[in-house]
A and B are shown apart, each in its own frame.
Chain A
Amino acid sequence: MFFEKLFSYHEKFLRPPGAVPEKEFIDRCIRCRKCQQICPYQCISPAGALHGDAMGTPVIQAREIPCYLCMKCPPVCPTGALKTDIQKADVRMGVARIDRATCLPFQGIICRACYENCPIYREAITLDQEIYPVVHPEKCVGCGICEHVCPIEPSAIVVESSASRNED
């Protein structure tokens, strides 16, 4: 039986790579969906009607489809809501956080899914004692691939969006 995840992040939008701070993003984004159209992985979808003034803005639901950092979307943004000149390693969409109460290695089950799939390989996620995953926030780009691949339901590793950090 798994542990249920009771405490988690406040659900804030994960924005495409290169997004400017959230308030400015909402202002700049003209809901043109160009980023959504160019994404080869179809990871970007528009926010729904319930989200008020954020409706129509691009959102990544990493658990469904994460950002694979192909970096095709920033250059097509016509309004600078996504910074065009950003490099893959400089992306800061958010930071992954591990819930040790559910993460399998902390329960005695060997699993390396997040570690193995992290695109900033062996840097953003390392294994403490070669068993327990640790996120290094200074390296983590927040792409959400770890959140996507985590075999536990709900994911024991979740990206906390930078959108919320920018609001603080």
Chain B
Amino acid sequence: MPIAGVIIQTDGNDNGQVLEQLQAFKNVYTYGVHKGNSIVAVFDCESSKELKGLADQITEQVQGVMGVYPAYVNYEDEMEQAQE
């Protein structure tokens, strides 16, 4: 169950609207808009595949999003499973 810290970069025109749209994703948690066009967010997913899908989905579907940039991913559960 990987958890990713990401930066969602917006075009900066209407961050409020972008945040609102992000509310619709139940596994996305936002931590404010910084530096004008960067939303700090956390993706809480079931699998790495879902993480990737979620990032693609947000980039493609949410208006005003220029890109999603991962900064940190914790997938210790997956690693522990792999070890056993």
Residues on A facing B (Cβ under 8 Å): 1-8, 101, 154
Contact = CB atoms under 8 A, between A and B. Distances in A.
B4 A6 contact: yes
Interface string B69-80: 010111110000
A4 B75 CA distance: 8
**Interface residue SS majority, chain A:** loop
A6 B51 contact: yes
A8 B56 CA distance: 10
Interface of B: 2, 4, 6, 48, 51-52, 55, 68, 70, 72-76
Contacts of A7: 52, 55, 68, 70
Contacts of A1: 73-76
B32 to A, nearest CB: 21
Nearest to A101: B70
A101 B2 CA distance: 16
For the complex of A and B, list the 10 residue pairs with the smallest distance between their C-beta atoms, beginning with the closest.
Answer: A4-B73, A6-B70, A6-B55, A4-B48, A6-B52, A3-B73, A4-B75, A4-B2, A6-B51, A1-B74
24 contacts: A1-B73, A1-B74, A1-B76, A3-B70, A3-B73, A4-B51, A4-B70, A4-B73, A5-B48, A5-B52, A6-B4, A6-B6, A6-B51, A6-B52, A6-B68, A6-B70, A6-B73, A7-B52, A7-B55, A7-B68, A7-B70, A8-B52, A101-B70, A154-B48
